Amino acid sequence: MALDATFWVAVSFVIFFGGLIYLKVPQKVNEMLNKIILGIKNEIDESEKLRTEAKILLDNAQKKLNTAQSVSKEILDQAKKDSDRLIIELNDKFHKSSEIKKNSAQTKITLMKDSAIKEIKNTSVKIAMDSVKKIITTSVDRSKLDNLFEKNLNETKAELRKINL
C-alpha cells in the first residue's frame, strides 16, 4: 500500500486533534466561553438591579411629586379660604364703618336741626322783644298797636320761613 496524500492528511488530522486534546484546548475554550457567559450573566443581573433601583427611584420621585402637588393644592385652598375670610372681614368692617358714619351724620343733622330750631326760637323771641319795645316806645292807640302787632307777626313768620328753607 502506498502511502498517498490522503493517508497523510488523515494522520496529520488525527495528530492535530490528539494534540489539541492533549493540550486540553477544548477545556480551555470551554472555560473561556463559560467565563464569557458568566460575565454576560453578571452584567444582565447588574442591569436588572439597576433597572429595579431606577424603578424604585422613579416611584419615589412620583410619590414626592404627588405629595408636592397635594401640598400645593392644600396651600392654594388655604390661601383661598384666608382671602375669602379677609374679604368678608373687610366687608364687615366697611359696613360697620359706614353705619358709624351714617349714625354720626344723622346725629350731626339732628344737632344742627335742634340748633336751627333754637336759633329760630331765639330770633322769634328777639323779634317779639323788638316789637314790644317798639310798641312800648311808640305808645300809640290800640288800632295802630294791632296793625303793628300784625305787621311784626307777619315779619316773624316770614323770617321763620326763610330760616326753614
- Specify the pTM: 0.41
Q: Please determine, for residue 139, whether its predicted confidence score (pLDDT) is greater than 70.
A: no
CA 118 to chain centre: 56
Exposed/middle/buried for residue 120 (C-beta within 10 Å: 0-12, 13-18, 19+): middle
Burial 9-41 (b: 16+ CB within 10 A, else e): eeeeeeeeeeeeeeeeeeeeeeeeeeeeeeeee
DSSP secondary structure letter of residue 111: H
Q: Please determine, for residue 1, whether its predicted confidence score (pLDDT) is greater than 80.
A: no
Return the residue matching grid coordinates 486540553. Answer: 24
Burial 81-104 (b: 16+ CB within 10 A, else e): eeeeeeeeeeeeeeeeeeeeeeee
**Among candidate residues 158, 116, 164, 156, the one with its CA nearest the CA of residue 132:** 156
In the chain, what percentage of residues exceed pLDDT 90? Answer: 47
Q: pLDDT tens digits for 74-131?
A: 999 999 999 999 999 999 998 999 999 999 999 999 999 888 888 888 888 888 888 7
Q: What grid cell was written down for 78?
A: 388655604
Are 91 and 134 in contact, with CB atoms under 8 Å apart?
A: no
